[in-house]
């Protein structure tokens, strides 16, 4: 699969087509073994695993990682180190890299992140999900009750691979009407191990939910979801209830691993399930 604009070098990655038995096995390891560990144990193991990427020695793997994962040898020229740094001091710095210049277009609705669009359907057409013997609805992802999100809204889930840009941006101009932190698990995010329900981790993992009221009085629901080895989901500056946000204003960043879900009053116009989307291109 290819990118849909020339602004990016290569947001795509290999999608593994696992045999059903292997997908079920990996799901068992993720949900029934790892997912049944107490949350504090999951976080301690994740913190231990991810700590290496904050060490100065980890910057040595940036160049090999670029060669293996990106077709454009000048890929990194579009980005700068985070937090005003003059160079990437660790692999984590590369992971949370910033665009030097964000993409520009005239569309009023844009994608908030880049990655694989692994789920896309009307809220009313999506199946319920069983999590630890509880029935959960699409509204559960966003910390709401069944019926609070209009049934004609469209639910989308974008899986961010390790190679993808890991900052989440506002899809519209609007006003933040709600921010909610939902504690949860850190089960594996990769959608190809959840064949029947690629969005399963979104129903049970730790996440931040941000509601944005657009200029037409419609609410756009954004859920920023963590996974194993996520050190932090950090909200960006000035992301507070009542504050206005501009289209493509940064909402948050991930320190390793992520998925971004959205429930919106319009459906994607140019992308379908199992295609790649990019930050800032028309939604």
Note the pLDDT tens digit of each residue in 132-144: 666 678 899 999 9
Q: Looking at residue 128, what is its pLDDT?
A: 67
Q: Greater confidence, 10 or 71?
A: 71
Residue 9 pLDDT > 60: no
Instruction: Give the chain's mean pLDDT.
Output: 87
Q: What is the domain partition of the chain in residue ranges?
A: 20-277
Q: What is the dihedral of CA 148, 149, 152, 153, to 10 degrees?
A: 170
Residue 2's pLDDT band, with cuts at 50, 70 and 90, is very low
- Mean pLDDT of the 224-246 span: 84
- Tell me whether residue 89 is exposed, middle or buried, using C-beta atoms within 10 angstroms of its C-beta: 0 to 12, 13 to 18, 19 or more: middle
Judge if pTM exceeds 0.85.
Answer: yes
Q: Any residues with CB less than 8 A from the CB of 83 and at least 6 apart, and which?
A: none
Using the 8-state DSSP alphabet, how is residue 242 labeled? T
Distance CA 15, CA 29 (A): 20
pLDDT reported for residue 50: 80
Report d(CA 190, CA 161) in Å as an integer.
Answer: 8
Sheet strands (E) in the chain: 79-80, 98-99, 115-122, 129-131, 134-136, 154-160, 167-169, 174-182, 207-213, 219-225, 233-235, 244-245, 250-254, 258-264, 276-277
């Amino acid at each position: 699969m290819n990118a849909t604009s020339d602004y990016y070098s290569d947001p795509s990655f290999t999608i593994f087509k696992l045999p059903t038995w292997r997908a079920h096995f990996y799901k068992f390891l993720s949900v029934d073994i790892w997912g049944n560990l107490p949350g504090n144990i999951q976080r301690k193991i994740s913190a231990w695993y991810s700590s290496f990427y904050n060490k100065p020695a980890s910057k040595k793997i940036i160049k090999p990682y670029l060669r293996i994962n990106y077709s454009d040898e000048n890929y990194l020229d579009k980005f700068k180190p985070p937090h005003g740094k003059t160079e990437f001091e660790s692999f984590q710095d590369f992971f949370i890299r910033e665009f030097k210049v964000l993409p520009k277009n005239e569309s009023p609705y844009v994608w908030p992140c880049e990655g694989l669009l692994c789920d896309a359907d009307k809220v009313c057409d999506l199946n319920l999900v069983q999590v630890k013997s509880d029935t959960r609805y699409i509204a559960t992802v966003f910390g709401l009750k069944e019926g609070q999100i209009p049934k004609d809204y469209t639910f989308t889930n974008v899986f961010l691979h390790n190679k993808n840009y890991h900052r989440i941006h506002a899809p519209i101009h609007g006003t933040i009407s709600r921010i909610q932190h939902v504690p949860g698990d850190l089960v594996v995010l990769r959608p190809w191990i959840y064949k029947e329900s690629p969005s399963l981790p979104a129903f049970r993992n730790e996440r931040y939910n941000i509601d944005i009221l657009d200029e037409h009085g419609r609410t756009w629901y954004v859920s920023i979801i963590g996974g194993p080895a996520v050190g932090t989901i950090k909200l960006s500056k000035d992301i507070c209830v009542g504050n206005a946000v501009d289209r493509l204003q940064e909402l948050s960043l991930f320190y390793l691993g992520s998925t971004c879900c959205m429930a919106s009053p319009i459906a994607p116009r140019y992308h379908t399930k199992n295609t790649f989307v990019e930050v800032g291109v028309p939604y």
